[in-house]
Structure 1
């Protein structure tokens, strides 16, 4: 027999309460406090939705766009936006701009190899800010697409379609990066000083979406989300999704685990939740605001969303020796609460910790999503296909 719950709700019932302005919505930080003080059953009775949020660099992101046609028509084979190469091997005027693609003539890279001032993420941010970017396209010419060259300045409104299409966002747990060698290591987690000079960590802890639904019981294909300041959707598991990792007693993975593939209309988004990032010695990334509503269907979901920073154990990995090896050594696990405190003990040394994720912006994402739900402008959706958790 399946498990019987004291409290049971459906997404349809919760949506009716949202429409009527009667739904009780908490952000993930508030839910943690409630579950601690009143327990999961009372919390499940009181709360309908928990709003989660994160704002962190998410390299596996990009823009799928269509520039539209003007006679004479063109089938683009090479495309650049503000000097950043795009992939044009799609239909006639469809292209994809990767967030981490650097500009071809970035002067900073000539002085500091591997460092770029501008790339795909910055182009996306510029478009969302309403700025003009320079489009350049080349083609080989055909009978039906005779044009061979196109150059003009465009804005986001000039694009026929602009879809933020991200293959891997919202990692469920991630490494805390350190470096034990004699030299500074330049990584996607930021510069790592020698001899354990710093420990850089990501994720938003108890606010983070996939820590609040560790087994993907409410998140799947079609889940409506907050993405970049607009509305987006989950398309399914992201690339590098690990469905059956080692977990602690609360179901929290002990290593990098679940990921999400997501999409949203770039024309709805806001620049404060989509920011181009330049990482010294590594390249370009994009910081993205991602928020997911977790419906409290039963006391189990109340328990999961009651996760605290002390329940999240993050692996500390030596990027000086063990990365990019596939199976690098985990030096130890530290709780997110420890890392958030500003220092962590590694081999008896008090190491300063550096967050790569913004806790302030992550909370802002969760609170904005909470507000949308309370106002009735954001309804929940039923997953149309589950994401594998094991």
Structure 2
């Protein structure tokens, strides 16, 4: 007997969520359902698939307002725990980039690039309720006479604190190796000499943009899980590639789509916003992002049924090639192979090292799943598309 075509709307799915009747599964569970039941039946049975990733996302930061106190001030330079903030915005607005390093970090003076403390650490300290030291300078005007500010503040003292991230959730990325005879230190972590390790950063079948490769349900205005709170997609991220090369399941084969995200920093959880110090490279931020994928039709079920074995990524040399901008592929590898702990590169067995935590990515997807099942999170209609074709 022929199966009927599935057509649902986000409104219909939200009505089911409000009534406690929505069927919600994480992306790992959806792989098994599609494999067993097929895409049509899976789309009929499931309403929402939750995705998740917990990975270094260097292009992240905090837009903050420190408030005014008499006499008022126009801050031209600002530091939080001696980490510089960009202050060329307005009177007491500033932007703290997560990779910005502390100016007085002793490791920075001895080993440039081996930062131990930076913007991401300030962000995590604030979320954990710690006081950070605010120092600001101004040149003084008739309307803003104060020239200095120097005090300790907490997150509760800030009138506004918004996580604003120019580029998150890369849709696929490189598997990094090093063909030189020395260890090198990169944003993909330390890479040992002679291709002794292969580092990768993705949550595979759990990753948000692998589950909606053409961004059919993800766009401006999409409500998401961001850092343990609720956030939104506000458009494509920087370095977004509109027309990547894809495999038969529509999954891009190289670094491609990205998202620009925002959320209320005060409502986030430090468990999902963690500072990182990458040896020999600098500071980064491990961030939890989860995006719900509505099962509008069998096509979306087919996309969310993609497994680790369906996802391939390029192996790139970060020793000779990457610094010189040479886009050479040493081969391709599936995420399933990367998760096995060992791959073969140029005929050599090489240990694999994840920068993304799969267990935390699954926790993000399951947390979002729980919110939806409890009726605490409704899906949103995107108000504009993100180009992806």
The TM-score bracket by the shorter chain reads: over 0.9
Give the deviation of 1:305 after TM superposition.
Answer: 0.3
Given that 1:277 and 1:286 are in contact with CA atoms closer than 8 Å, whether structure 2 keeps it comes out as yes
Unmatched segments (≥5 aa) in structure 2: none
Q: Which residue of 1 aligns with 2:341?
A: 342
Query: How many Å separate the matches in 2 of 1:68 and 1:109?
Result: 31
- Relative to the length of structure 1, the TM-score reads 0.98
Q: Which residue of 2 aligns with 1:29?
A: 28
Given that 1:51 and 1:291 are in contact with CA atoms closer than 8 Å, whether structure 2 keeps it comes out as yes
Given that 1:24 and 1:47 are in contact with CA atoms closer than 8 Å, whether structure 2 keeps it comes out as yes
2:9 counterpart of 1:15: no
Q: Which residue of 2 aligns with 1:378?
A: 377
Q: Which residue of 2 aligns with 1:162?
A: 161
Q: Which residue of 2 aligns with 1:96?
A: 95
Q: Deviations over 1:71-94 (max 9, x none)?
A: 100000000000000000001000
2:243 counterpart of 1:233: no
Q: Which residue of 1 aligns with 2:260?
A: 261
2:47 counterpart of 1:48: yes
Given that 1:54 and 1:359 are in contact with CA atoms closer than 8 Å, whether structure 2 keeps it comes out as yes
Q: Deviations over 1:126-150 (max 9, x none)?
A: 0000100000000000000000000
User: Secondary structure of 2:107's match?
Assistant: helix
Given that 1:5 and 1:298 are in contact with CA atoms closer than 8 Å, whether structure 2 keeps it comes out as no
User: Secondary structure of 1:195's match?
Assistant: helix
Aligned residues: 387
Query: How many Å separate the matches in 2 of 1:92 and 1:161?
Result: 13
Q: Which residue of 2 aligns with 1:38?
A: 37
When the two chains are superposed, the root-mean-square deviation of aligned CA atoms in Å is 1.0
Q: Which residue of 1 aligns with 2:201?
A: 202
Query: How many Å separate the matches in 2 of 1:339 and 1:246?
Result: 21
User: Secondary structure of 2:315's match?
Assistant: strand
Q: Which residue of 2 aligns with 1:139?
A: 138
Q: Deviations over 1:268-316 (max 9, x none)?
A: 0000100000001100000000000000000000000001000000110
Q: Which residue of 1 aligns with 2:289?
A: 290
User: Secondary structure of 1:324's match?
Assistant: helix
2:372 counterpart of 1:353: no
Query: How many Å separate the matches in 2 of 1:5 and 1:210?
Result: 27
Given that 1:230 and 1:270 are in contact with CA atoms closer than 8 Å, whether structure 2 keeps it comes out as yes
Q: Which residue of 1 aligns with 2:72?
A: 73
Give the deviation of 1:327 after TM superposition.
Answer: 3.9
Given that 1:65 and 1:162 are in contact with CA atoms closer than 8 Å, whether structure 2 keeps it comes out as yes
Given that 1:243 and 1:257 are in contact with CA atoms closer than 8 Å, whether structure 2 keeps it comes out as yes
Query: How many Å separate the matches in 1 of 2:212 and 2:91?
Result: 41
Given that 1:156 and 1:267 are in contact with CA atoms closer than 8 Å, whether structure 2 keeps it comes out as yes
Q: Which residue of 2 aligns with 1:176?
A: 175
User: Secondary structure of 1:235's match?
Assistant: strand
Given that 1:229 and 1:270 are in contact with CA atoms closer than 8 Å, whether structure 2 keeps it comes out as yes
Unmatched segments (≥5 aa) in structure 1: none
Q: Which residue of 2 aligns with 1:218?
A: 217
Q: Deviations over 1:220-250 (max 9, x none)?
A: 0000000000000000100000010111000
- Relative to the length of structure 2, the TM-score reads 0.98
Given that 1:5 and 1:299 are in contact with CA atoms closer than 8 Å, whether structure 2 keeps it comes out as no
Query: How many Å separate the matches in 2 of 1:77 and 1:108?
Result: 27
Query: How many Å separate the matches in 1 of 2:37 and 2:264?
Result: 40
Given that 1:196 and 1:351 are in contact with CA atoms closer than 8 Å, whether structure 2 keeps it comes out as yes
User: Secondary structure of 2:299's match?
Assistant: helix
Give the deviation of 1:324 after TM superposition.
Answer: 2.7
User: Secondary structure of 1:239's match?
Assistant: coil
Give the deviation of 1:322 after TM superposition.
Answer: 1.0
Query: How many Å separate the matches in 1 of 2:299 and 2:90?
Result: 46
User: Secondary structure of 2:327's match?
Assistant: coil
Give the deviation of 1:5 after TM superposition.
Answer: 7.5
Given that 1:238 and 1:261 are in contact with CA atoms closer than 8 Å, whether structure 2 keeps it comes out as yes
Query: How many Å separate the matches in 2 of 1:171 and 1:309?
Result: 16
Given that 1:54 and 1:357 are in contact with CA atoms closer than 8 Å, whether structure 2 keeps it comes out as yes
Given that 1:114 and 1:283 are in contact with CA atoms closer than 8 Å, whether structure 2 keeps it comes out as yes
